[in-house]
Amino acid sequence: MNPVEFATQLYNSVDARSVADLAHFLADDVSFRFANAQPLKGKDAVLAANASFFQSIADMSHQIDQVWGAGDDLICNGQVNYTRLDGSQFSVPFATILKLQCDRIVNYLIYADVSAL
């Protein structure tokens, strides 16, 4: 899968807030860091954290502006739009850096200032 397809499919799963779909993208030993949260290790821990985050919002959508791929590395950036549980909106730029191995994410870094979320 090319980098644009990978990023698009990954964020379609994330925007659907589907932990089951997200699981297909992750290696068993994935390392994950979202913004300034503590790093996580292992697929189960990453999926649990995402499930918790997905429950803390009503909706989200990512607009991917650019994708760069080189070997097993993929970087994308854009805008993420959140709907809070109270219905209010919040948008912020994001950047994601991925390290892939056998088409699975082994290192997943998300940079976004979600402190106002």
Intervals of the chain under pLDDT 50: none
Q: In 3-114, which residue ranges form alpha helices assigned H by DSSP?
A: 3-15, 19-23, 43-55
- pTM comes to 0.92
Please state the domain extents for the chain: 3-111
Q: Residue 24: beta bridge partners?
A: none
**CATH 3.30.930.10, domain 3-111, yes or no:** no
pLDDT of residue 43: 98
Round the average pLDDT of the chain to a whole number and report it: 96
